[in-house]
Amino acid sequence: MKNNALWIILQRLRIPLIVIIVTYSISILGMVLIPGLDDKGNIYHLTFFDAFYFISYTASTIGFGETPYAFTYEQRLWVLVCIYLTVIGWFYAIGALVSIISDKTLKQELTKSRFRRRVNRLKSDFIIVLGYNHVNSQAIKKLVAAGLNVVLVDKSEDKINGFLLEDYSKSVPVLVGDALLTETLESAGIHKSNCKAVVAHFFKEDKNLRIAILTKFLNSNVKVITKATMNETMTSLLDTDIAKVENPFEIFAKRFDIALSSPHILVLENWIYKNADLTDEAVFLPKGRYIICGYGRLGKLLKEKLDKHDLDYVIIEERLRGDSKMLSEGRYIRANADDKEVLKESGIESASVLVAGTQNDIDNISILLTARKINPDIYVIARENTMKEVSIFEATKANWLFMIEQILINKTSLQLSQPLKHCFLKRILYKDEQWASSLVNLLKVQLGDNPRLLNMTITEKRAFAIYTAIENGETVTIDMLLKSLEDWTKYHKALPLFLKRGDEEILLPSNEALQLGDQLLFACDEESREEIELIASNIYDLHYVSTGEEKKNWLLEKIFG
Amino acid sequence: MNLQKVISGFFFILAMTLNFGFFYGDMSNLELHSTYELFAALVISLIATALKIGDKTQIGSVLLASSLVADMQLIAAVVVWTVIEYTSGMTPAHMATVVSLSGGAFLANMTSVILYIGETLKSKR
């Protein structure tokens, strides 16, 4: 049975109840059996009702006095016994009840059942977040801001209490429990059809794997969004078929690769993530010699990319022995990178880019500072492992910060709250520099440095006019949405970026005819956003931009026409 | 031997036998039905109920339900008796009502004893 709280109370109440019943019945029976004298001196026996009445107010220490007649000494002797017996029994029972109410297990059960009720009441899609760490807390913040329902589970009560102090926590049901147990996942509503995703970013990656496997067996329609930095975990996770795995190192290496070949794509990406506007050229890597400090997960991936682009580089790593090919080419220095002499040996004076990419945040900062002292113009990529040091890292003014947690936060929240933008980003990653730079220039010329983005889905609710027009068999093209409401021969400034129709994805759609359920992404400014929304939802405006005439009101037409 | 089983079995069966003792005899004859026996039947029935509380098994819930029925019937009998006694005075017709109420409680008690025996026979220990 689901409701454990009630059973805990009932089981604990057994003994107190029996104690009350027994003490009452002994006292009542005694009162009935002992003969008394009425006001005329006749012998009488109390009835059961009299006795029950008398004991009830005596046991609860109310004490209305002796009824129906004054008691004899024999009766009073027995009343003495009754008083001690029943009052003690009564107090014991009340004490037991109070201790049950303040009992910790009972409290936990009560919060658990309250949590289950709140989860069951969620009618729209929701996301289960497992573990309250920095990444998840920021992701929750963004998801809640985007209007999605979130359920949070964490093992530690302190962390949950910390979460409850946040102002966005009100709408989030929380549970203290071990996320690795089936029972916890079930309480969190994983079986429900409106549960869309499970987010797990545990530091220990086998935990993430375990959650992915559990979720697959509990409800294979749920996506698992998780991270993995080790190859074995990564493959196992992908084998579950339902996991969307984020490997921050690979994500960054991919960015590095793109930055080397087509940096404008990254400009677009940063703009969509709202990290920077379109003029930001921080990701434009200079050509020249690259120095990579740290040859771990990150260093190895970066080396592959540098090899691919045939660039000159040197790696500095203290703990690993480099392979002979790299040593013979003079591309590997086994030393501590946080050392002036070592950096000089690596040729930092003439190098153009330095990657401070060790596992230790303080080492990275120290390398950065030393390098800047020797070569003030060097471009620095700094790796930041935890968000605790974020202000220090910002103060160092590294040209490009690789923040593992920030990447996870952005990825997770964007793919859950803005799936259309996520699809768009995935598509543009395969485009070339020419395409990207012309798009960036077009956006900058037409809409300024920081255009807004507008999502639109052709549904009855979001785009009533277009929906009804298509229902009636009319053709509505994207072009119509771009026309100005002041003059239909002119266009406003918005730019269609992306069209998603089922599995079909079209970048920069030109004059496609719209279908029901299409998802559109526009770049626009405040004014053109308004125009698009008006055209989409107002039948008069849609009629005007498609024909150039005012739509006539049928009633007025009948009267005047 | 399980002491807990002995105690609970004792109370379940005692509740039934006491109830039967009160119920047995000409319905409308006041002298054949003792108040003390009804009192004892009610008290033991309440204790039996308390013993059944909190058992999460399927059979436990049915046992608790039957016991609650018996309590309800007996309490109704007691209330009817008290009210009649202090208002119009006891008549054979009213006595029949009280006794038949206890008869219903007796059936409920019997159900719970049969279930209890059935569960015991099924148990491998």
Q: Tell me the residue length of chain B.
A: 125
What's the mean pLDDT when you consider all of chain A? 85
Q: Which amino acid, residue B110? A: M
* Second CATH level (architecture) for the domain A4-102: Orthogonal Bundle (1.10)
Does the pLDDT of residue A479 top 80, yes or no? yes
Q: Quickly list H helices, A34-175.
A: 48-59, 73-101, 104-121, 134-145, 157-164
- Average pLDDT (A416-442) is 87
A-chain residues within 8 Å CB-CB of B35? 47-48
Chain A to chain B Cβ contacts (< 8 Å): 42
Which of A6, A49, A55, A97 is the best substitution to test chain B (most B C-beta atoms within 10 A)? A49
What is the ipTM metric for this complex? 0.80
A122-163 pLDDT, tens digit each: 888 899 999 898 888 888 988 888 888 999 999 888 888 888
Q: Does B51 touch chain A (CB under 8 A)?
A: yes
Percent of chain A surpassing pLDDT 90: 9
pLDDT given at position A312: 85
Percent of chain A surpassing pLDDT 70: 97
Q: Does B77 touch chain A (CB under 8 A)?
A: no
Q: Does B36 touch chain A (CB under 8 A)?
A: yes
- Per domain, the residue ranges of chain B are 3-122
Q: Is there a contact between A25 and B53 if contact means CB atoms under 8 Å apart?
A: no
Task: Identify which has the larger pLDDT, A328 or A527.
Answer: A527
- Per domain, the residue ranges of chain A are 4-102, 122-246, 250-417, 451-555
Task: Identify which has the larger pLDDT, A120 or A327.
Answer: A120
Q: Does A10 touch chain B (CB under 8 A)?
A: yes
The hierarchical CATH code for the domain A451-555 is 3.30.70.1450
Q: Does B43 touch chain A (CB under 8 A)?
A: yes
- Average pLDDT (A174-186) is 88
B-chain residues within 8 Å CB-CB of A13? 50, 53-54
Give the H or E element holding residue A315.
Answer: strand A313-316
CB A298 within 8 A of CB A249: yes
- Average pLDDT (A203-223) is 88
Q: Does B34 touch chain A (CB under 8 A)?
A: no
The hierarchical CATH code for the domain A122-246 is 3.40.50.720
Determine which of A183-192, A305-314, A543-552, B92-101 has the lowest per-residue pLDDT on average: A543-552
CATH 3.40.50.720 corresponds to the domain A250-417: yes
Q: Quickly list H helices, A452-553.
A: 464-471, 478-481, 526-537, 539-547
> Both tokens of residue B19?
């109830």
- Average pLDDT (A293-322) is 84
The CA distance from A497 to A533, in Å, is: 16
Return the residue of A nearest to B41 by Cα.
A25
Least CB–CB distance from A10: residue in B53, B78, B82: B53
Question: Rg for chain B (alpha carbons), in Å?
Answer: 16
**Residue A74, min C-alpha distance to chain B (Å):** 21
B-chain residues within 8 Å CB-CB of A25? 39, 43
Does the pLDDT of residue A294 top 60, yes or no? yes
CB A255 within 8 A of CB A270: no
Intrachain domains A122-246 and A250-417 with the same fold: yes
CB A176 within 8 A of CB A111: yes
B43-81 pLDDT, tens digit each: 999 999 998 887 777 888 889 999 999 999 999 999 999
Does the pLDDT of residue B22 top 90, yes or no? yes
A373: closest CA among A341, A340, A350, A402? A340
Which of B18, B22, B37, B39 is the best substitution to test chain A (most A C-beta atoms within 10 A)? B39
Question: Rg for chain A (alpha carbons), in Å?
Answer: 37
Q: What is this structure's pTM?
A: 0.69
A20-54 pLDDT, tens digit each: 999 999 999 999 999 999 888 899 999 899 999 99
